[in-house]
Amino acid sequence: MVCCELCKRYKKDPSKKRVAGKDFVLYRDEKGEVQALSPYCPHRGADLSLGQVVNGKLVCPYHGWEFDSCGTCVRIPSQPNKPIPKFAHTFSYPVREKIGLIWIYPDSEETPPEWQTFHVMENTPFKLSFFHATWNAHLTRSIESVLDTAHLAYIHKKTIGRKTKAESTNYKLEGTLDQFIFSNGDAYLEYKFPHQWMLHSGKQENESFIPYITFTPIDEEETLIMGYTGRTFLKYFPLLDQILAKFSLRVLKEDQIIVESQHPRPIPEALKMEAHVHADMAQIQFRKRWFQFLQNGSCFSLD
């Protein structure tokens, strides 16, 4: 499942989102639960996100057709006493709310696989400061930017890489293709395929501060980045939320300039098509899993 929005932004009114090259309309039903449907009415193709929610039903703005959370049309005002055509339905998609974010599985015909965020995100009482950015870059290049520690001394020399030495051989990779840890000294990054990343400064049981990022493909050309900085200190200091979010966006902006310049836009189709060194272990691990992902015909392949 991929992240598409911050939970608290959704009250009731429908809103359209684009994920993995598909459009969706999200809204809250009468129980307050988020639902996701294909956003175009099967009658005349009107955008359902321009409609409204009435008694938990999504109402088309064009002719007032009403759809339930399964995408089934349950009312057509212009023919109240006749059967509703079988074709009068739109597709529904699995959607979840977790760690304050809305997650969607962009395939209506498949049951989403078992899925979790990082344990520490769900079980530590962090105060979360939210940030987001949209890059004009392919999902794969965007993800690889946070799996690369060798660029810190160059791209981030004015921020997080200020004290980083360019010469380093202390790289270590542990884990599987689906979830691994990549370290360079005490600090280490943790990655959960295909799109979740977290940075740890030391032992997890004593952590007081963590940056967390998730990546969502909007389409082949753009990637949505959403994340938090989590802290267990100064939790009731709102100004710190703004400071941390602003700093996170500054760091991302440093990466964005480079990532948007990379060619080809997606990673190459084979490992041998680019040169690799020891510091690239995490990126190589990601590429191996990504190639498997595409071979399985994933709904995130953006074909």
Mean pLDDT, rounded, for 145-166: 91
**126-142 pLDDT tens trace:** 999 999 999 999 999 99
Among 5-19, 251-265, 277-291, which is the least confidently predicted range?
Answer: 5-19
Residue 132: C-alpha distances to residues 5, 78, 101, 146 (Å):
10, 43, 12, 15
Assess contact for 247 and 129: CB atoms under 8 A: no
- Average pLDDT taken over every residue of the chain: 91
Q: What is the pLDDT of residue 240?
A: 96
Mean pLDDT, rounded, for 77-92: 95
Q: What is the pLDDT of residue 187?
A: 82
Q: What is the pLDDT of residue 236?
A: 92
Residues 54 and 37: their CA atoms lie apart, in Å, by 16
pTM: 0.92
Q: What is the pLDDT of residue 21?
A: 94
Q: What is the pLDDT of residue 302?
A: 46
Which of 87, 242, 270, 278 lies closest to 168, judged by CA? 278
Q: Please say if the pLDDT value at position 26 is more than 90.
A: yes
Q: What is the pLDDT of residue 303?
A: 40
Mean pLDDT, rounded, for 273-300: 89
Residues 48 and 62: their CA atoms lie apart, in Å, by 9
Q: Please say if the pLDDT value at position 233 is more than 60.
A: yes
Assess contact for 19 and 94: CB atoms under 8 A: no
pLDDT confidence tier of residue 217, bands split at 50, 70 and 90 = very high
Give the residue with greater pLDDT, 123 vs 271: 271
Among 155-169, 225-239, 289-303, which is the least confidently predicted range?
Answer: 289-303
Which of 24-33, 103-112, 178-187 has the highest average model confidence (pLDDT)? 24-33
DSSP conformation letters of 34-57: EEEE-SB-TTT--BGGGSEEETTE
Mean pLDDT, rounded, for 103-110: 83
Peptide bond into 238 cis (omega under 30): no
Which domains, from first to last, does the chain contain? 2-104 (2.102.10.10), 119-295 (3.90.380.10)
